[in-house]
Structures are given as structure tokens and as C-alpha cells.
Structure 1
Amino acid sequence: MKKTIALIALTGLLFISCKKEKSAAPDQAKNPDQFGVMVGKSANIDMVKKLTAMATSSDFENFKANFAPNAVIHDNLHEITIEENITILKDIKSKGMTLTLGKDPLIWENINNEVDKKTGVKNYVFSYYYATFTRGGKSVKINYNMIFAIKDGKVVEEWDIYDSAPIMDLLK
């Protein structure tokens, strides 16, 4: 009987000593101004990579399906709808221009602790691609910066920032 009680006591001590304590994340404890985290892999990042592939391959039906019905796109500070964005992409293609994006973008997701009051979103994917526009044997390479506000698996707002002058020169 003494051996059984000793075994139970020893087992209890082992469980107590192995118990993990919950503590604040080290970064949050070190920086009180931190309001979220940044990740390099996520479902939202995968979606953005697929979106860019769909745009360059003219798969506009599937491209559009990833946007919320009232999504807003800020194309170099011009507010447009997803339908207007698709029209621009189709127009570029109809003028004999092709778009290719670099295979290794700089891309990450910021996940905020709280919902942004302006957009109603916590998740933002930031991407920096090298984009090559080609037409008639000529091509230009530009830095194409895109930020996607994502909620419930859909893009609700997008900001595209790029130098459009070289693209316009190709269309002349």
C-alpha cells in the first residue's frame, strides 16, 4: 500500500513539474507599441499569389471570385471597382501587351490585434513584385507594389502603386 501511495505521489509531482505556464508573448512584453504580428506563410498570402497568377493569365472569372462584391481598388490613387480593373487588364491584353510577374516576390501578411476602424479588416497582405510589360519586342520592368485588405477570405480593398509612365510609353 505504501508503494502505491508513493507511486501516486511521485506521478502527481511529475505532472505538476511538467505543467507549462502561460505567459505573454516575448515580443509583446518587450514592445508595448506592437499591435499585431507579421507572418511569411498563410492562406491569405497563398490567395494573393494565386490572384496575381490569375491576372497575368487572364483568368478573370476566378480572379474576380476572390474579391468581395463591393471591393475597392486604388490603382495609383484612382478608385476603381474590380470590374473596371478587369477592363483595364483586358484592354492591355487587347493592345498586344503581356504582363509577367517575377517568381519571387517580397510578400508577407500583417495580422493586427484589432480590426482597423477604416476598413473593418485585421489582415493585410503586402507584396512587391517586379512586373515586366512586353509589347512588340520591347519590354519594361517596373516595381509593382500591392497591398490587399482581406476579410473572410475575400479582398475588400486593394492598393496598387507603380510607375505607369513606362507602360504608357509601350502603348505608343
Structure 2
Amino acid sequence: MNKIIYLLLASSILLACAKKEEANSPKMPNQNGYTVITSENIDMVKKFNDLAIAFDTAAMRAMYSSPQDTINDNLMKLTVGQSLQNLAQLNAAHIKPTIKKYGALWETINDEPNPKGVKNIVIAYIIMNLNNGKESKDVLLQQVCAIKDGKIVEEWDVYDTKPFEELMKAK
């Protein structure tokens, strides 16, 4: 009986360690990489968001690689200037955003760059509070920043616009 148990154990170890061929799974670009939860790029995105809630658009502009970088704001393609204009509208409406917390925040570093030469992507799930002095509303914001050479080269922000619209009307 002991010999059978040892034989089964040895067989399972050999099978587990054997190299498996993945003939049906071709290698895709950017398939491999790794994820970190602390990095200079993560710190940069946090600083960028702190500047946004302080309405420091000049300092934010300096964190982009070019004024022509694409900001995908709820699937609307904007330039840096157009995106910062939206932030100025919040400020003019006296809506004060604050970051309550980062629900999740990490950086993925791909082995191979994408067609734009980007290997570093910072992903953030942010719980943001909006306050116009009368009302307060929370918004979940998903932010993805493509970073190259320490600058944001493309950004994707997805969030519910309804709380923004309601607070803009209430003011």
C-alpha cells in the first residue's frame, strides 16, 4: 500500500513539474509583464490627482508629454487643453472635489511596448467626493494612465457624469 502511495505521489510531482506545450495559445504582444503596488509612476499619478483637486492646471499640464496627448473622458477624445477646461468649469461652479480613497491602485509594466512605445500603465479606482457647499456626492472614477519617460502620454477616465451634472445645476 505504501508503495502505491509513493508511486502516486511521485507521478503527481512529475506531472506537475513537466513542461506543458501550449500549442493553441500563441504568444500575443504585451501578453507578459508584471504588476507593482508602489512605484514612481504610481506616486506621479497620485500627485497628478492631488493637483487636479487643487485646480492647479498649469502643474497638471506639465505632467503630460505633449499638449496633443489624448484624454479619453468617458470615451470622448479630448486634448489636454480641452480636458483641463472641464476642470476649470468645476472650479467656476464652486464644486470642490476631494479624493476619499483609492479603492485600488497599481502599475502594470509590460514586457513589450505597445505601438506608441508605452510599457507602463497605472490603473486607479478612486472614490471621489464632490461638494458644492449645499450637497455632497460620491463618484467612483476609474483612471488609466499610459506613462512613457515619466510623462502621461494617454489617459482614460470613466465615471458617472450624473453627480457632476446635478451639482452644476444646483449651484
* Interval of TM-score (by shorter of Structure 1 and Structure 2): 0.7 to 0.9
Number of residue pairs the alignment of both structures matches: 142
Counterpart position of 2:143: 146
Equivalent of 1:167 in 148, 164, 167: 164
| Structure 2 SS opposite 1:121 | coil
d(CA) in 2 for partners of 1:91, 1:98: 11
Larger Rg: 1
Equivalent of 2:65 in 63, 68, 71: 68
1:107-141 per-residue CA deviation (whole Å, 9 max, x = no partner) reads: 00000000112x32100000010011111310110
| Structure 2 SS opposite 1:41 | coil
- Give TM-score scaled by structure 2 length: 0.78
Q: CA RMSD in A?
A: 1.7
1:10-50 per-residue CA deviation (whole Å, 9 max, x = no partner) reads: xxxxxxxxxxxxxxxxxxx99x8750000011110000000
Q: CA deviation at 1:59?
A: 1.4
| Structure 2 SS opposite 1:137 | coil
Is contact 2:146–2:155 with CA below 8 Å preserved after alignment? yes
Counterpart position of 1:123: 120
Counterpart position of 2:47: 50
Counterpart position of 2:131: 134
Q: Which stretch has the larger CA shift, 154-163 or 86-95?
A: 86-95
d(CA) in 2 for partners of 1:130, 1:161: 12
Superposed, 1:80-119 pairs within 5 Å as 80-117=78-115, 119=116
d(CA) in 2 for partners of 1:105, 1:158: 18
Identity %: 37
Q: CA deviation at 1:103?
A: 3.6
Counterpart position of 1:39: 36
d(CA) in 2 for partners of 1:52, 1:120: 24
| Structure 2 SS opposite 1:67 | coil
Q: Which stretch has the larger CA shift, 154-163 or 64-73?
A: 64-73
d(CA) in 1 for partners of 2:81, 2:140: 24
Name stretches of at least 5 consecutive residues in structure 2 with no aligned partner: 1-18
Q: CA deviation at 1:105?
A: 4.1
Q: Which stretch has the larger CA shift, 96-105 or 78-87?
A: 96-105
| Structure 2 SS opposite 1:115 | coil
Superposed, 1:21-36 pairs within 5 Å as 35-36=32-33
